[in-house]
Amino acid sequence: MSVVEIDGVDALSMRRLAAKLGVAPTAIYWHVGNRDELLDALVDRIGDEVGRVRTTGRTPAARILSTARSLLVSIESHRPLVGLAHQRDRLGSVLAPAQEAIGAAFGDAGLRGARRSDATNAVIQVVLGYSITELYRDRSPATALWDGERTFDVSLKGVVRGLLP
């Protein structure tokens, strides 16, 4: 995971991983398989790392907001790993713990069925949209015209208030 987080997924090779671990490359092939199998195993671990969200608050709204903020921090802390999960078409499994927590809070607020699912997905979309916006803003800070964190909070709170019964 550290090779991918520091240098990107393209820098991950069996030879480099073996050198980092102090083993022969054949040991990696023997225990893990080929590079695709290694990447799939890494994505499984990513879910454990990125998916670890913190939910706090006494009200459903507070729990939704705290989970969304926790997910954002996790995504931003592990951006290359999230990118790998996306490349491997496994982003959904990485987001599942946050989706479950947010969905449960919407359920506690009385939302059921499609309304609950749509509300959950809308909050996840706000988090992912902000994360992508920040990625591009980081690449070109001179074009930033807003206070990102404040804008995220305003957007998130507005969406959550609008979705709660």
One domain, residues 127 and 67: yes
One domain, residues 27 and 58: no
CATH number, domain with residue 19: 1.10.10.60
- Which tokens in the block code for residue 83? 């990118």
One domain, residues 124 and 145: yes
CA 142 vs CA 128, 136, 137, 153: distances in Å: 22, 11, 8, 22
One domain, residues 96 and 25: no
One domain, residues 149 and 128: yes
DSSP characters over 2-27 = HHHHHH-GGG--HHHHHHHHTS-HHH
Asked whether the predicted pLDDT for residue 154 surpasses 90, the reply is yes
The burial of 145, by beta-carbon neighbours within 10 Å (0-12 exposed, 13-18 middle, 19 or more buried), is given as exposed
Instruction: Tell me which residue of 156, 137, 157 sits closest to 147, measured CA to CA.
Output: 137
One domain, residues 122 and 79: yes
One domain, residues 156 and 99: yes
H or E element at residue 141 = none
Helix (H, G, I), strand (E, B) or coil at 142: helix
Q: pLDDT digits over 35-88, tens only?
A: 888 888 888 877 777 778 899 999 999 999 999 999 999 998 888 888 888 888
Domain span at 39:
2-46
Asked whether the predicted pLDDT for residue 118 surpasses 80, the reply is yes
Number of separate domains in the chain: 2
pTM of the model as a whole = 0.82
One domain, residues 78 and 112: yes
The runs of H, that is alpha helices, within the chain are 2-7, 14-21, 25-31, 35-50, 60-77, 79-87, 91-108, 113-139, 148-163
One domain, residues 13 and 29: yes
One domain, residues 42 and 59: no
Neighbouring residues of 149: CB distance < 8 A, sequence distance ≥ 6: none
Mean pLDDT to the nearest integer, 87-109: 92
Query: How far is Cα 84 from Cα 35, in angstroms, rounded to an integer?
Result: 13
One domain, residues 37 and 108: no
One domain, residues 21 and 38: yes
